[in-house]
Structure 1
Amino acid sequence: MTSTYFVPRGGLPPQTALTTDRARFTEAYAVIPARTLSDITASYLPKWDRTRLWVLARPLSGFAETFSQYVVEVAPGGGSASPEANPGAEAVLFVVDGALELRIGEQTHALENGSYAYLPPATDWSLRNAGESLATFHWIRKAYQAVDGLAVPESFVTREQDVAPVEMPGTDGAWSTTRFVDTQDLRHDMHVNIVNFQPGGPIPFPETHVMEHGLYVLEGKAVYLLNQDWVEVEAGDFMWLRAFCPQACYAGGPGPFRYLLYKDVNRHAGL
């Protein structure tokens, strides 16, 4: 399949730009527009060389609480031999531009556009840009919730291009999901999928359910229902939804509307 992933390039808007924006932070949801990912909002991490990132989500008391999500830009020769400071954190890496070398234990994987890696907690891994151009990837992190009698999932590396989307029932292909983990595999306590809509395809009812969501628009545009508000979104925008925030959408065309979706799954509610 041929896909185009939005890649932020930083920079700053000109002094003549209007301040008015689609940025929103409400009690039920947040919208971070693509232009927010500028030089002034970039962050840096210890033990990462020639690397900057944009923090899209982090746990906040009283809001979304289960995950963090970064867009990470690695310059040639950059990366980290000690990327994760929390041994209890699991991760998904999804590459949207360039090439990276991922080492998991004794094995090295060449990552490219569309590559997807799942890393369980306490994994020995490192990441390096051995190429000659910038590389960009999404890094989604969650504190893994172990369950007695369930093994921790193994690490794996795949590509979006090698995973067939699953059509939602009754949609004739207008709405599908690229699922990297079996939904019946209860070892996993989060799913990071890609949701695909053809032009005009909708979510035809307000989904209202227990999962927290992070949605990064990889491609296209849509009108998205967030709680009581219809918000226009496009490639590079990020949406952050609390549990039970109603959501629906209409894909706007002229091309597909696609987003990288995080949600927490398969565990009891904490009491």
Structure 2
Amino acid sequence: MSYAFPPGGLPDQSVDPEGTAIFTEAYAVLPAVTQRDIVTSFLPGWQNTRVWVLARPLSGFAETFAQYAVELGPEGGSATPEPDKDAQAVIFVARGSARLTLGQETFDLRPGSYAYIPPSAVWTLRNVSAAPCCFHWIRKRFQPAEGITAPEAMVTHESEVPAVPMPDCDGVWATQRFFDPLDLRYDFHVNIVTFQPGGRIPFAETHVMEHGLYVLQGTAEYLLNKDWVAVGPGDFMWLRAFCPQACIATGTEPFRYLLYKDVNRHVRL
């Protein structure tokens, strides 16, 4: 299985600088070509690590989450990775391998590994190989609700999570749900959505959930508000709540993306 990740590097001087990035009040598109060495960040407490910050809480942009693409060099990582005790996270490995400790347990992660890390968890992450480890890191503050406690930590692999077809689509549109949708402890979901070539979202979805979408594989035409945008591996999309969206998978391979959405809480007034 192939999982896209920022390419890094730098285009040569012959490349047209106009680009295809889009930033609007309703949505943003950060194409893979924009995710280069010169836009990386470095984090306190992390060694031999660089980060592409794809989304962050910002007026007129993401409101509920932050999303990083993180590259660990050899021996890179952190013994104190999360500075916010109320933050919870999902880690999804795209390339390489890393060792995750969660409390007293240790997990060796590989491409396709998925970890949920609850708030206040004690955890570390370290690349113990000679090759870079690349992973997606989605962070969200846990939103308490009466009678509800935070979920426990969980580590799995996407091969262990079945793809559930959506109704009335002949199996061309399916979602791997890593959390039980009926478990109200979770105030966000991070799933993998897959469309077979020609598959589509057959109506313009409009809903309260904010989205972050990172394209893992394949190509599509994606409706964002009123605009159809061509997207492919490594492209990132942010969609504001209620931004209309739809999708038509193109090409000859499945179109797959890592999908964030906030769920299961009252609207704050």
TM-score where L is the length of structure 2 = 0.99
Q: Is the 8 A contact 1:12 1:38 kept in 2?
A: yes
Counterpart residue number, 2:108: 110
Provide the residue aligned with 2:122 in structure 1.
124
- Asked whether the 8 Å contact 1:33–1:237 carries over to 2, the reply is yes
Which residue matches 1:64? 62
Distance (Å, rounded) in 1 between the aligned partners of 2:41 and 2:128: 22
Is 1:88–2:83 an aligned residue pair?
no
The aligned residue for residue 174 of structure 1 is 172
Asked whether the 8 Å contact 1:198–1:253 carries over to 2, the reply is: no
| Matching residue of 1:239 | 237
CA-CA distance at 1:12 after TM superposition: 0.5
Picking from 126, 130, 133, the partner of 2:131 is 133
Aligned-partner Cα distance in 2 for 1:22–1:186: 38
- Counterpart of 1:78 (choices 70, 73, 76) is 76
CA contact (8 A) 1:57 1:69 kept: yes
Q: Is 2:149 the counterpart of 1:151? A: yes
- Distance in 1 between the 2:56 and 2:62 partners? 8
1:108-143: CA deviation from partner (whole Å, max 9, x where unpaired): 000000000000100000000001100000000001
Amino acid at match of 2:219: K
Q: Give the alignment's TM-score, normalised by structure 1.
A: 0.98
The answer (yes or no) to whether the contact 1:89–1:143 under 8 Å persists in 2 is yes
**Once superposed, what is the RMSD of the aligned Cα atoms?**
0.7
Q: Secondary structure at the match of 2:61?
A: coil
For residue 176 of structure 1, give the secondary structure of its aligned residue in structure 2: strand
1:216 pairs with 2:210: no
Residues 244-259 of structure 1 aligned to structure 2 (within 5 Å)? 244-259=242-257
Cα deviation for residue 64 of structure 1 reads 2.4
- 1:16-95 superposed matches below 5 A: 16-95=14-93
**Across the two proteins, how many residue pairs are aligned to each other?**
269
Q: Distance in 1 between matches of 2:7 and 2:229?
A: 24
> Which residue type is aligned with residue 143 of structure 2?
Q
Measured in 2, the distance between the counterparts of 1:21 and 1:264 equals 30
Distance 1:8 1:127 in 2: 20
Gaps of 5+ in 1: none
- Counterpart amino acid of residue 158 in structure 2: E
The aligned counterpart of 2:11 is: 13
User: Which residue number in structure 2 is paired with residue 263 of structure 1?
Assistant: 261
Unaligned runs of 5+ in 2: none
* CA distance in 1 between partners of 2:61 and 2:136 (Å): 21
Contact 2:7 2:32 in 1 (8 A): no
Q: Percent identity?
A: 61
